[in-house]
């Protein structure tokens, strides 16, 4: 059974002049222990998808349709308190800025011990030992001393290691990591991604890794979902999506992966910009930017179609038979 199922998810933001639809019919699932990358440009709906799953949509955002199931149980309609318990125990969250997840007024040890004792039957000594072990696991040097330090006494990279320890403290089955390295120094981004991958594997946790960086996806994920204008443009095994992108948007993202042999910027290969929510184009939302637009693309919106070993929401694949992943 899938660990997480997102089915036809719709997220809307009501405002004075109407309603903006930020996610429109988004579906995917995550298997136990799997790393699913969610990628796309800013405004594609990546972070909103993550926030909907962990029950932290910014008001007035609301789930207006579809379902989210964790281990077969619906969690999309739970109240704040019930979701808070699920967040600590069954879903861990890691955000771009480690300070979002840490209380500046408490030592990291106190925060870890509190999280551990909220979710697991541990006495003070056991919880402290477990906290030290978690800090050690995440590569914090001298964890026996560092456990009593406050967040401001850690560097950005070390703080994100503490957040990873905190997210894994209650042994959740799923970690939702939203741009976990974007705020960090480039030189330590790879270390944090490597750590996240290793430690989640060690703890048997699946990861939903939200990033704008296709390079990170390529190195880290088993499968990838490419979002565009609040919908899944393509989803499939990561090596297939990278080597045989079926959606012209994915192909554009791939062309934008930095190449160390050439001097080019990331995500600069696709002309135009992600449409605003109040101006989503008719038919395929990508059609104004697509080099392969056809008449049909402007009028009819494609659903996900079998496209080689992936699935792509693109009319180019309307009649192409599916093939097994290599």
Contacts with ligand SF4 by CB under 6 A lie at: 247-248, 284, 286-287, 290, 292-294, 297, 302, 314-316
Q: How far is the CB of 305 from ligand SF4 (least distance, A)?
A: 10
Q: How far is the CB of 54 from ligand SF4 (least distance, A)?
A: 30
72 touches 227 (CB < 8 A): no
Structure tokens of 300? 């009819």
d(CA 62, CA 13): 6
Taking the least distance from each CB to ligand SF4, the nearer of 206 and 251 is 251
Taking the least distance from each CB to ligand SF4, the nearer of 13 and 315 is 315
Taking the least distance from each CB to ligand SF4, the nearer of 154 and 315 is 315
d(CA 326, CA 175): 28
Query: Mind giving me the DSSP string for 112-146?
Result: HHHHHHHHS---HHHHHHHHHHHHHHTT-SSHHHH
Buried-exposed string 164-194: b where 16+ CB fall within 10 A, e elsewhere: bbbbbbbebbbbbbbbbbebbeeebbebbbe
Taking the least distance from each CB to ligand SF4, the nearer of 209 and 314 is 314
Taking the least distance from each CB to ligand SF4, the nearer of 178 and 234 is 234
Q: How far is the CB of 49 from ligand SF4 (least distance, A)?
A: 20
Give the contacts of 285 (CB within 8 A, at least 6 positions apart). 228, 229, 231, 275, 301
Structure tokens of 102? 């840490």
Q: How far is the CB of 244 from ligand SF4 (least distance, A)?
A: 15
214 touches 40 (CB < 8 A): no
Q: How far is the CB of 64 from ligand SF4 (least distance, A)?
A: 25
Taking the least distance from each CB to ligand SF4, the nearer of 199 and 246 is 246
Q: How far is the CB of 151 from ligand SF4 (least distance, A)?
A: 44
Length of the chain: 326
d(CA 11, CA 16): 17
């Amino acid at each position: 059974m899938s660990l997480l199922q997102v089915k036809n998810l719709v997220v809307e933001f009501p405002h004075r002049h109407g309603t903006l639809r930020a996610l429109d019919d988004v579906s995917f699932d995550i298997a136990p222990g799997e790393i699913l990358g969610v990628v796309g440009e800013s405004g594609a709906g990546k972070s909103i998808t993550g926030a909907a799953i962990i029950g932290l949509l910014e008001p007035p955002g609301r789930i207006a349709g579809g379902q989210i199931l964790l281990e077969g149980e619906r969690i999309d309609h739970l109240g704040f308190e019930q979701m808070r318990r699920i967040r600590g125990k069954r879903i861990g969250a890691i955000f771009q800025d480690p300070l979002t997840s840490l209380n500046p007024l408490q030592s990291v040890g106190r925060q870890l011990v509190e999280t551990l004792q909220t979710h697991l039957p541990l006495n003070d000594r056991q919880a402290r030992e477990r906290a030290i072990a978690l800090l050690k696991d995440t590569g914090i040097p001298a964890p026996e001393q560092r456990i009593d330090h406050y967040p401001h006494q850690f560097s950005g990279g070390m703080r994100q290691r503490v957040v990873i320890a905190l997210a894994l403290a209650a042994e959740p089955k799923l970690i939702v990591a939203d741009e976990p390295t974007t705020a960090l120094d480039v030189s330590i981004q790879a270390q944090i991604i490597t750590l996240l991958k290793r430690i989640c594997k060690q703890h048997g946790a699946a990861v939903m890794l939200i990033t704008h960086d296709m390079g990170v996806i390529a190195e880290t994920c088993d499968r990838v979902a490419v979002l565009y204008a609040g919908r899944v443009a393509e989803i499939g095994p990561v090596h297939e999506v990278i080597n045989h992108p079926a959606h012209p948007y994915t192909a554009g993202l791939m062309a934008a992966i930095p190449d160390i042999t050439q001097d080019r910027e990331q995500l600069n290969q696709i002309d135009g910009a992600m449409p605003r929510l109040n101006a989503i184009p008719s038919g395929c939302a990508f059609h104004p930017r697509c080099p392969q637009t056809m008449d049909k693309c402007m009028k009819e919106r494609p659903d996900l179609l079998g496209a080689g070993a992936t699935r792509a929401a693109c009319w180019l694949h309307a009649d192409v038979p599916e093939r097994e992943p290599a």
